[in-house]
């Protein structure tokens, strides 16, 4: 196989990985210029690999070893196999071609070590730190592909990521509760007279609902700020933030009085594409 064919296979692998495991971000790349799409998919494929480590291991140690491999790879201290890993190959290419900073990629790996254990998320500050180094970092890294970095873009990426990340915590509640993993801050639950076991029971109670409603309020605040900041960034970077249109939709659904956060909710891929297409044609994202 020639080098060109190998690169094409790696790019295709990343596209398939993101399409399968992170359809929202995959769909958002369809509205980006073709010259940017490959690098965006490399970033999102890397995130898909890191965020799914917990799903592939039954004990923390093998997960730690997988994450360490990626840390070593980014540090240039890999122990072989980098060339044979299509996601690593594509990510290194994106780093080279677009000058992506390595530090936030490494911090994203570090934050996902939390996923490997069943320790509860202790506080709102801890959750914001986790989300800032994961969801917000992804927005910021993707923005580097579309435009030169700036304080305005970083500020937007932070609030967009916090809005999206907190919504994802709420959306993942059924799965996390089933495996006794708590991303809803324990301190927040306790402030409403609830605790871990109420969440792990998988039943909505008034105290749990009050804590979820406060989380929804936090996400909405970050969402509103992000939308205000969109107007102040270059037009070429706005499509990166198209997933905010889905955050807006999810916040509306989650805020309804009849919404049970412990019932899994799925959205068709067609509806996701339709929502993103409509947003792409709106004034905010163009």
The domain ranges of the chain are 1-110, 118-286
First to last CA, the chain: 41
CB-based contact 49:22 (threshold 8 Å): no
d(CA 98, CA 101): 9
CB proximity list for 13: less than 8 A, separation 6 or greater: 45, 86, 87, 90
Q: What is the pLDDT of residues 225-252, one digit of tens each?
A: 999 999 999 999 999 999 999 999 999 9
DSSP H helical segments within 117-205, as ranges? 124-131, 137-146, 151-171, 173-178, 186-191, 196-200
d(CA 212, CA 225): 20
Look-up: residue for tokens 């004034």?
283
Q: What is the pLDDT of residues 93-125, one digit of tens each?
A: 999 999 999 999 999 999 999 999 999 999 999
Q: For 106, how many CA atoms within 13 A lie in the half-sphere containing its CB?
A: 9
Does the pLDDT of residue 263 top 80, yes or no?
A: yes
Q: What is the pLDDT of residues 117-158, one digit of tens each?
A: 999 999 999 999 999 999 999 999 999 999 999 999 999 999
CB-based contact 91:78 (threshold 8 Å): no
Mean pLDDT of the region 217-223: 98
CB proximity list for 242: less than 8 A, separation 6 or greater: 28, 31, 276, 279, 280, 285
- Name the CATH topology of 118-286: Farnesyl Diphosphate Synthase (1.10.600)
- CA gyration radius for the chain? 19
């Amino acid at each position: 196989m020639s080098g060109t064919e190998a690169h094409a296979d790696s790019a295709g692998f990343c596209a398939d990985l993101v399409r399968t495991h992170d359809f929202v971000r995959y769909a958002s790349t369809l509205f980006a210029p073709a010259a940017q799409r490959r690098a965006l998919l490399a970033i999102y494929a890397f995130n898909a690999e890191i965020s799914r480590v917990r799903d592939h291991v039954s004990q923390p140690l093998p997960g730690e070893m997988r994450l360490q491999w990626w840390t070593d790879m980014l540090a240039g201290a890999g122990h072989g196999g980098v060339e044979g890993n299509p996601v690593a190959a594509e990510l290194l290419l994106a780093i080279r071609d677009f000058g992506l900073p390595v530090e936030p990629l490494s911090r994203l790996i570090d934050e996902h070590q939390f996923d490997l254990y069943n320790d509860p998320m202790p506080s709102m500050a801890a959750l914001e730190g986790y989300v800032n180094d994961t969801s917000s970092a992804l927005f910021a890294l993707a923005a580097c592909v579309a435009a030169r970095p700036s304080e305005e873009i970083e500020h937007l990426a932070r609030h967009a990521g916090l809005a999206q990340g907190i919504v994802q915590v709420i959306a993942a509640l059924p799965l996390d509760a089933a495996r006794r993993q708590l991303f809803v801050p324990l301190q927040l639950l306790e402030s409403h007279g609830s605790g871990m076991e109420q969440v792990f029971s998988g039943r909505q109670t008034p105290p749990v609902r009050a804590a979820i409603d406060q989380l929804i309020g936090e996400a909405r605040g970050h969402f509103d700020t992000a939308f205000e900041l969109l107007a102040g960034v270059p037009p070429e970077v706005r499509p990166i933030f198209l997933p905010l249109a889905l955050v807006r939709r999810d916040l509306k659904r989650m805020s309804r009085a009849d919404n049970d956060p412990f019932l899994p909710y799925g959205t068709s891929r067609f509806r996701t594409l339709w929502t993103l297409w409509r947003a792409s044609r709106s004034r905010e994202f163009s």
